[in-house]
Amino acid sequence: MPVLCLIFRKQTPHFFSIERVFAQVTANLDKTYQAKKVTLPFYSSSLTAIFRNLLFTRKLKADIYHISGDVHYTVLALPRRNTVLTIHDCVFLHRPPGIKRSLLKWIFLDLPVRHCSLITTISEATRQDILNYTGCPPEKITVIPNPVNEVIYHTPGIFNETCPVILFLGSTPNKNLERVIPALEGINCQLNIIGDIPAAHLALLRQHGIRYTQRTNLTDKELADQYAAADLVLFPSTFEGFGMPVSEAQKAGRPVVTSNLSPMKEVAGGAACLVDPYAVDSIREGILSVIRQPHYRQQLVEKGLANVRRFSATQIAGQYQAMYKKISLS
């Protein structure tokens, strides 16, 4: 039985989405391959740590190697013909030009893209970034979306039109909380925020009189319960590699307000209220449309439940397995 070596970054307490995604993928692979998970010993925090991770990776033995993401440079220590690289996003390049940006691009994108057999990415938006930044042959890159978390469950609920619970996930700048807060001013609701809240945003919440709760470090089950307790999921992000809260909300049977940007609008599949994430008025209008229009809201929920079927872990695992078969036959 061929050995498939899945290579993961050294995990931090704050970033775990890659590990969650591939736990579902490997659990749904058939018995064609013997999957072996390997975690790197060092964080990619310095050139010395990167070099040590390369030395570690060089000693690995398998028939197929798959870099699961974030540590793209490890492909340099592996045989090109047998290696698949997954690139989740190019967020590290969305910063002002300079020496640091050029070095990151060279180590985490340019060299890895050249030194692998096949590349997968989680959205067409990221695929276009890779093509634009590297000039990689288009046929080398395949889009395989993230599977929806299997722990998320659907519970039909009665929408609370007088004071809806609005679930908001994340607090990094791209999640757009600074525009969400003024957009909610005067709307009778409760905002449930998942993530650390910066001091500046805490001040905004007080200034605009927003009733809110805040939670961090949730288990998968606790996160699923948050979706079940929500009336509406709000995700007007300005930049994502994929946008998992959109598909998770749809699986939970909750209406979604998200950005009219790629990849969120593609993930939504016509089953979300799309808004301009850079315009406070647009975010506000989208929220009010969902709250005030029961028929529209129900349409979003029904279309979302149909759309999310394409993100099942079984289907996504099958797409990865097709990539491994290409490697085996090459």
Per-residue pLDDT tens for 289-323?
Answer: 999 999 999 999 999 999 999 999 999 999 999 99
Residue 95, pLDDT above cutoff 70 = no
The predicted structure's pLDDT at residue 99: 85
The mean of the pLDDT values for the chain is 94
Least confident window among 69-78, 84-93, 125-134, 248-257: 84-93
**Strand 190-194 versus strand 273-275 pairing type:** unpaired
Q: What is the distance between the alpha carbons of residues 3 and 14, in angstroms, rounded to a whole number? A: 30
The predicted structure's pLDDT at residue 241: 87
Would you say 141 and 131 are in contact if contact means Cβ atoms under 8 Å apart? yes
The CATH code belonging to domain 165-310 is 3.40.50.2000
Helix H or strand E segment including 77: none
Region(s) of the chain under CATH 3.40.50.2000: 3-147+312-329, 165-310
The residues, ordered by sequence, that sit 6+ positions from 295 with a Cβ below 8 Å of its Cβ are: none
- DSSP structure string for 95-127: S--SHHHHHHHIIIIIHHHHTSSEEEES-HHHH
Can you state the percent helix, strand and coil of the chain, rounding each to 5?
50, 15, 35
In 10 A of CB 151, how many CB atoms? Answer: 17
Task: Identify which of 86, 150, 143, 124 has the alpha carbon closest to the alpha carbon of residue 309.
Answer: 150
The predicted structure's pLDDT at residue 1: 85
What confidence tens digit (pLDDT) does each residue in 8-45 have?
999 876 656 788 888 899 889 888 889 999 999 999 98
In CATH, which superfamily holds the domain spanning 3-147+312-329? Glycogen Phosphorylase B; (3.40.50.2000)
Provide the residue type at 295 as one letter.
H
What confidence tens digit (pLDDT) does each residue in 261-293 have?
999 999 999 999 999 999 999 999 999 999 999
Q: What is the distance between the alpha carbons of residues 259 and 277, in angstroms, rounded to a whole number? A: 6
